[in-house]
Structure 1
Amino acid sequence: MLMRAPNIVLAAGGTGGHMMPAEAVADVLVRDGYQVSLVTDTRGNSISNALVDVDRHVLKTASHMGGGIFGKIRSVLSILKSTLQMRRRFKKTQPTVVVGFGGYPSLPAVLAARSLKIPFVLHEQNAVLGRVNRFVAEDARVLALSVQDTAKVPVGAYTEVTGNPVRQLIAKLSNIAYAVPLGFGDVRLLVIGGSQGARILSDVVPAALALLPEDIRQRIEMTQQARPEDVGRVIAAYEDIGVRARVQDYFEDVGSLLLRTQLVICRSGASTISELAAMGRPAIMVPLKIAADDHQSANAAAIAEAGGGWVMQEDDFTPEALAKKLEHLLTDMSDLRNASEGMRMVARLDAAERLASIVVSISEESEAPK
């Protein structure tokens, strides 16, 4: 049996894209008897259904570099203040290893670990190495990657490909087959915009469905995530065109929704893509145009190359273009079946176990008598 580590620290925050992989790894570590704590920021702490039973320390650090010179100065000072705070905490708690999941909220914990010579591991969810991970990658014991050919990895970084950990709920549902509607039966669409929602999906998708032939539109059962301020108008838009729709600002039961979904329209954040791949659900992906280093386009390109879905850039994501794509996919369902198989080809269902194994190994080395 593995030795029990006194304290493994996971540092993640900002969005679900960072928090969900941390939760998946925490589940494995806790299951195996390890003490796990989380360092996050106020945004990460507000994701109420993630890492519920893990001890957490919430920083007031900046979630990103603020705009303009004064904003950037404030962000840097905030990170430095939080780093000193984490140094004091680590001197008391003496973690054996710190695991950073990227994003600015993870940086203070990683910098504190580096300054105290505590080994740290980094995990990158996207197909382009994030700026924070890039900054400290060469000092990490291991930089764990989700994608084999991740861009912008420093030459001196030691890397291992683990995949992107998905939540236990999703992993357990991954062996359930994709169901293609028989004949001209109902087809279930799911629209999700990540943990923050996406206004462009609320603007374009209902308008696109309004352009579909009546016989196709009547077959659609829509479930859509929208920003709170958009929920009312999206519901009204679907009522006007006679589409059965369930619209909410957040869904906690994404796993069960994916089970009954034939096609997803979504952003291409790493966690969204990984969960779709695990469950083999084809997707029309609309990368966030302003994402750092255009990493969402890189994520989507990897899926499209494997045949798991279709990419529509924001500038091309019009009601007319989406309606044309949907009419084709919902008429000849064989493309959806093939895309489901393509999605499953890129899934790494053992990613959480792989990453946890790396973390435990380094933790044991740190605990060993010198």
Structure 2
Amino acid sequence: MSAGTPYIVLAAGGTGGHMMPAEAVAGVLKNKGCKVSLITDKRGDAIGNALAGFDRFVLDATSHMAGGLVGKLKALVSIGKSTLQVRKRFKAERPDVVVGFGGYPSLPAVLAARSLRIPYVLHEQNAVLGRVNRHMAEHAAAVALSVTYTQRVPEWVHTVVTGNPVRQMIAKLANLAYAVPLGAGDIRVFILGGSQGARILSDVVPAALAAFGNDCRHRFDVIHQARPEDLERVTEAYKAAGIRARVQPYFDDVGSVLTRSQLVICRAGASTLAELTAMGRPAILVPLAIAADDHQRANAEAVVAARAGWMMEEKAFTVEALHEKLETLFSDMGALRDASENMRTLARLNAADELAALVISISKKEGKA
């Protein structure tokens, strides 16, 4: 590393919702001449296509969400151990800025940075400031928000609205037009459960589509992300209904799938919504009911308020209710077109650039660049 080259450490993990924004920012920072490393956990490391080629340090850690008194004690021990490991790493090669993307893996990295007086930035993907970010916000150089109306942000915290970064491959496809289903042509539906899949979507969607008449069923062209243990039954359900479907546990080519999709049925995770807004794809959103602070509901409500999609709570997400909603949408394709246009109004395509610029500016203020 040459003198004056900023060294930035990104801390993210757990799910694609944390890893994908980190990957987007890492690419911009690298292109601007920064050295970039990743601190993650085993789940983040298992998302093999994320931040490939970047130096990484994998924490052997227990989630702070572990239940019960024993679980919480184990989590505290794990956090302490991981923080000491990260401190040792930072002492060997001191970062100019540490960026935490929320979730468990960011906590030891940010704690280590704070103890060593290394400036750190927090990025919040959701419409509710997460627990780790709330606890660590007070001493952050900045808290970068994805939306202006983010809830539970302390008044004294320095915030900057950057948006939620999307991967370069998504940003490049953002200007492709939305194709409204017409006549007797295909109706292309993408069922996306996030990086971990979603069983409720596999339970409900195939049956709701199968409830259509034969003429309509033959028009469906479905791409469905399902958990590995659900692949066989979901595939068989579509086959029995005569519906064309590709069912996989994970899609590396989400951008190309979204390009051809006319309706997305998915969770309301922040990264999923950032990609939908970038590409202007209308969606039926099913917020994860157990999400911390009910943040997926807050994410979905913003989309509904913009008339860019429709929310169905888990308790109301039944085969009958979804079938009725789909019948309405497919009988009035104009609603899908309007939702697509409205979805685009929520996009912030320059979010990765804005967040990277913020991080570099903080590095310069520290006299490191």
Which category describes the TM-score, using the shorter chain as reference length?
Answer: over 0.9
RMSD: 1.1
- The AA in structure 2 aligned to 1:347 is A
Match in the other structure for 1:9: 9
The percentage of counterpart residues that share the same residue type is 65
1:247 match: secondary structure: strand
User: Within 2, Cα distance between the matches of 1:104 and 1:35?
Assistant: 23
Match in the other structure for 1:349: 349
User: Within 1, Cα distance between the matches of 2:346 and 2:169?
Assistant: 19
Q: How many residues align?
A: 367
Q: Which string of whole-angstrom CA distances, capped at 9 and with x for unpartnered residues, describes residues 139-174 of structure 1? A: 101000001110111122110100000000000000
- The AA in structure 2 aligned to 1:15 is T
- The AA in structure 1 aligned to 2:301 is A
* Alpha-carbon shift at residue 368 of structure 1 (Å): 4.8
Match in the other structure for 2:255: 255
* Alpha-carbon shift at residue 62 of structure 1 (Å): 1.8
User: Within 1, Cα distance between the matches of 2:168 and 2:63?
Assistant: 27
Match in the other structure for 1:195: 195
Match in the other structure for 1:230: 230
Match in the other structure for 2:306: 306
User: Within 1, Cα distance between the matches of 2:31 and 2:331?
Assistant: 46
Match in the other structure for 2:103: 103
User: Within 2, Cα distance between the matches of 1:323 and 1:184?
Assistant: 19
| 1:291 maps to 2:291 | yes
Match in the other structure for 2:82: 82
Q: Is residue 231–residue 247 contact of structure 1 (8 Å, CA) maintained in 2?
A: yes
User: Within 2, Cα distance between the matches of 1:63 and 1:279?
Assistant: 33
Q: Is residue 121–residue 144 contact of structure 1 (8 Å, CA) maintained in 2?
A: yes
Q: Is residue 165–residue 352 contact of structure 2 (8 Å, CA) maintained in 1?
A: yes
Match in the other structure for 1:336: 336
Q: Is residue 6–residue 363 contact of structure 2 (8 Å, CA) maintained in 1?
A: no
2:222 match: secondary structure: strand
* Alpha-carbon shift at residue 290 of structure 1 (Å): 0.5
Q: How does 1:108-127 map to 2 (within 5 A)?
A: 108-127=108-127
User: Within 1, Cα distance between the matches of 2:5 and 2:138?
Assistant: 25
* Alpha-carbon shift at residue 214 of structure 1 (Å): 2.6
2:250 match: secondary structure: coil
User: Within 1, Cα distance between the matches of 2:136 and 2:249?
Assistant: 36
4 and 27 in structure 1: CA distance in 2 versus 1, 3 angstrom threshold: farther
- The AA in structure 1 aligned to 2:170 is I
| 1:130 maps to 2:127 | no
User: Within 2, Cα distance between the matches of 1:222 and 1:63?
Assistant: 35
2:102 match: secondary structure: coil
- The AA in structure 2 aligned to 1:237 is A
Q: Is residue 11–residue 109 contact of structure 2 (8 Å, CA) maintained in 1?
A: yes
User: Within 2, Cα distance between the matches of 1:348 and 1:58?
Assistant: 30
User: Within 1, Cα distance between the matches of 2:40 and 2:96?
Assistant: 18
Gaps of 5+ in 1: none
Q: Is residue 11–residue 98 contact of structure 1 (8 Å, CA) maintained in 2?
A: yes
Q: Which string of whole-angstrom CA distances, capped at 9 and with x for unpartnered residues, describes residues 218-272 of structure 1? A: 2111110000010000011111111111101111100000000000000000000
1:275 match: secondary structure: helix
Q: Is residue 24–residue 352 contact of structure 1 (8 Å, CA) maintained in 2?
A: yes
Q: Is residue 188–residue 221 contact of structure 2 (8 Å, CA) maintained in 1?
A: yes
Q: Is residue 5–residue 96 contact of structure 1 (8 Å, CA) maintained in 2?
A: no
- The AA in structure 2 aligned to 1:359 is V
Gaps of 5+ in 2: none
2:345 match: secondary structure: helix
1:104 match: secondary structure: coil
Q: Is residue 145–residue 164 contact of structure 2 (8 Å, CA) maintained in 1?
A: yes
Q: Which string of whole-angstrom CA distances, capped at 9 and with x for unpartnered residues, describes residues 17-44 of structure 1? A: 0000000000000011110000001110
User: Within 1, Cα distance between the matches of 2:268 and 2:309?
Assistant: 11
* TM-score, length-scaled by structure 1: 0.97
* Alpha-carbon shift at residue 4 of structure 1 (Å): 4.7
Q: How does 1:12-23 map to 2 (within 5 A)?
A: 12-23=12-23
Q: Is residue 288–residue 296 contact of structure 1 (8 Å, CA) maintained in 2?
A: yes
